[in-house]
Amino acid sequence: MDYGDLALEFLRNMHALQKAGHQRFIQEGIQGEAFVLHHIGRHDEIIPGHISDAMGISSARVAAVLNSLEGKGLITREIDSGDRRRIIVRLTPKGHEHEEAQRNRNIELLKGLLMQLGEDDAKEYVRITGRLAEVLSNIRD
């Protein structure tokens, strides 16, 4: 197998995906406010440093996202009574509703895309993306 040719085909395919415009939808779901809301929603409370670690972004970027979410009434930030240096982040009731609606909308969109691939290709795509994430994680460690 010529991995160079395969790499070129992969790059062409990735470019075509980006051109199709769906990359932004996927990126927002795993990097932007949607991801932060989802991540906070998985915990009763969380500190900004954990969000930064989970997303692999700077604490300044997390602070900017949290400022935006707080301005929209989706989260609250409080000083930890046990350690006044820590800030505790929680979803508001509005934040819970927004996160759930967003998650359901994303699942429906992805479900439609996977259905268009067909059962075998959809399963294979999900398997391969999981394997790729595993390989890339091992390279970074």
pLDDT in tens, 77-87: 999 888 888 99
Nearest to 36 by CA among 87, 102, 122: 102
For residue 94, what are the contacts with CB-CB under 8 A and spacing of at least 6?
A: 73, 74
Strand partners, 78: 88
The CA-CA-CA angle for residues 7, 116, 1, to 5°, reads 20
Confidence band, pLDDT 50/70/90 cuts, at residue 118: very high
Quick one: pLDDT at residue 97?
Answer: 96
Percentage of residues in the chain having pLDDT higher than 90 = 51
> Identity (one letter) of the amino acid at 48?
P
**Has residue 100 got a pLDDT over 60?**
yes
State which fold the 32-140 domain adopts.
Arc Repressor Mutant, subunit A (1.10.10)
* CB distance 100 to 107 below 8 Å: no
Quick one: pLDDT at residue 141?
Answer: 58
Assign 93 to helix, strand or coil: helix
Quick one: pLDDT at residue 25?
Answer: 60
Q: Tell me the average pLDDT of the chain.
A: 88
Higher pLDDT, 47 or 27: 47
Average pLDDT score over residue span 34-53: 90
Task: Tell me how far apart the alpha carbons of residues 116 and 109 are, in angstroms, rounded to a whole number.
Answer: 11
Task: Tell me how far apart the alpha carbons of residues 94 and 98 are, in angstroms, rounded to a whole number.
Answer: 6
Confidence band, pLDDT 50/70/90 cuts, at residue 29: low
Average pLDDT score over residue span 90-102: 94
* CB distance 75 to 90 below 8 Å: yes
Question: Which pTM value belongs to this model?
Answer: 0.74
* CB distance 23 to 58 below 8 Å: no
Quick one: pLDDT at residue 34?
Answer: 86
List Cα–Cα distances, 104 to 34, 37, 98, 107, in angstroms.
12, 13, 10, 5
